[in-house]
Structure 1
Amino acid sequence: MAVIVALGAFLMTLAGGWTAQRVTDRRHLVLGLAGGLMLGVVGLDLLPEAMRAAGDEVFGVPLALLLFVAGFLLAHVGERLLAVRQAAHGAANGANGANGAHGATRDHVHRAPEVGLTAAAAMVGHSLADGVALGAAFQVGGGMGVAVALAVVTHDFADGFNTYTLTSLYGNARRKALAMLFADALAPVVGAASTLLFTLPEEPLGAYLGFFAGVLLYLAAAEILPEAHHRHPALSTLLCTVGGVAGIWLVVGLAD
């Protein structure tokens, strides 16, 4: 049963990615919505689940929160290191370029493609964890399975939307964005199927979710939302962000 539900998640993920690429003429609205969805997933879905599952405290602080901060910092440090490397590469190859070329180099530095691929890979890992959680819930009992199935299938639309948006935002080719989208769609099916063989312990799963929440928050707050409002500081963009958070809240509430 879990694998069948995961196939529904597969289709919802693809639908989210399809939606993201079909509205490119309203890019600021797409990014505003993606930022809201990511904030909602972090604050209303991932962190509460991580806090419940990760267990022990370390020096007075819950492990999930320590890993949340570590994920945020790692995303920040990783992006800065990539930016420095690409800036050096651009300086070496474009020292004699015109001002327009220099502006293009700076934009390329700000949007290091590796960051987008890494973020999308983290989304795939999150979806894999969703599939494992789905399979484990059906092992516990039918009522739990239905509740988790509702949460997974509905918010996988947001996962697909965010995976395609993150990959393409950082300058990756469309084929790479589609490949990451397909991997994200397939991940819950693989995760659910894996529970037929074994069950991932709850504490490592909670620790991973805390770490991933920190990475996702950094991308939403430092990259997605500033980009959404930079050229189009419109009320409609803000409403899309608020609507994204509200949508995740609705999904979490229905799942409970």
Structure 2
Amino acid sequence: MPVVIAMGAFLMTLLGGWAAHRITDRRHLVLGFAGGLMLGVVGLDLLPEALEAAGQDVFGVPAALLCFVAGFLAAHMVERLLAVRKAAHGISAAERTPQVGLTAAAALVGHSAMDGVAIGAAFQVGEGVAVAVAVAVIAHDFADGFNTYTITDLYGNDRHRALLMLAADAVAPLVGAASTLFFTLPAGFLGVYLGFFGGVLLYLATSDILPEAHHTHPAVSTLACTVAGAGFIWLVVGLAS
């Protein structure tokens, strides 16, 4: 049953990626919306889940928040080190590195796999919990597919790579749900992972996606799309709770 439910996440992920691919003439609006989605996912979905799952404090600070900061700093250090390396080879720092986009998309794929695990784990608790989790996962996997395609493309990867990452992101919930038939993921580890991943996403949204969205089109419509993206995630979380 969890794998059947995860098929809904598979389809919604593909739908989100298709939307990002088709709206090419309004790229600034797509990026603005993607940035809002990522901010909403981090602040309204990932962090609350991470804080609840991780539980324990480390020297007075919740472990999930420490991992959140660590994720943000890790993404920043990787990008800066790549910039230093490019400068040493005479490459402009403004030129985007495809590997960064692929790494970020791979993290999104990992998150989607964890979504599938969440569906399977919820079924182990009870059908009522499983329905709520399934609704939340299926609804926000549209955002996952949208962001996976957008961020892969943004960093200079070709269409083929972007579609491959989208396909991997779509299949990931199925794999995650199927895995719960064989083992159960410790809640503490899940909280640490979600916190770290949330920090990485926030860095990418604020340092790359949103600045790129407003760089050539500093329009009110772009800002409205960002607010709409965050509002969409709020709606999804509210309906699922």
TM-score after normalising by structure 1: 0.93
Match of 1:11 in 2: 11
Q: Distance in 2 between matches of 1:86 and 1:189?
A: 38
Picking from 109, 112, 118, the partner of 2:103 is: 118
Q: Distance in 2 between matches of 1:135 and 1:85?
A: 43
Q: In the alignment, does 2:206 pair up with 1:221?
A: yes
Percent identity of equivalent pairs: 74
| Cα-to-partner distance string for 1:147-194 (whole Å, 9 max, x where unaligned) | 000000010000000000000000011111111111111110000000
Deviation at 1:88, TM superposition (A): 2.1
Asked if structure 2 preserves the Cα contact closer than 8 Å seen for 1:86 and 1:112, the reply is no
Q: In the alignment, does 2:198 pair up with 1:209?
A: no
Match of 2:160 in 1: 175
Match of 2:31 in 1: 31
Q: Distance in 2 between matches of 1:197 and 1:51?
A: 26
| Structure 2: gaps (5+ residues) | none
Write the letter of the residue equivalent to 1:211: F
Asked if structure 2 preserves the Cα contact closer than 8 Å seen for 1:12 and 1:160, the reply is yes
- 1:33-52, aligned counterparts within 5 Å? 33-52=33-52
Q: Which runs of 4+ in 1 moved over 3 A?
A: none
Q: In the alignment, does 2:138 pair up with 1:138?
A: no
What SS does structure 2 have at the residue aligned with 1:172?
A: coil
Deviation at 1:248, TM superposition (A): 0.1
Q: Distance in 2 between matches of 1:172 and 1:90?
A: 21
Match of 1:90 in 2: 90
What SS does structure 1 have at the residue aligned with 2:217?
A: coil
Match of 1:62 in 2: 62
Match of 2:2 in 1: 2
| Structure 1: gaps (5+ residues) | 92-104
Deviation at 1:87, TM superposition (A): 2.3
Deviation at 1:89, TM superposition (A): 2.3
Match of 1:242 in 2: 227
Match of 2:240 in 1: 255
Q: In the alignment, does 2:56 pair up with 1:53?
A: no
Which has more radius of gyration? 1
Write the letter of the residue equivalent to 1:7: M
Match of 1:73 in 2: 73
Deviation at 1:83, TM superposition (A): 1.4
Write the letter of the residue equivalent to 2:127: G
Asked if structure 1 preserves the Cα contact closer than 8 Å seen for 2:47 and 2:198, the reply is yes
| Cα-to-partner distance string for 1:47-91 (whole Å, 9 max, x where unaligned) | 000000012111100000000000000000000111111222235
Match of 2:145 in 1: 160
| Cα-to-partner distance string for 1:92-150 (whole Å, 9 max, x where unaligned) | xxxxxxxxxxxxx4542xx1111101100110111111100110001111110000000
TM-score after normalising by structure 2: 0.98
Q: Distance in 1 between matches of 2:93 and 2:54?
A: 40
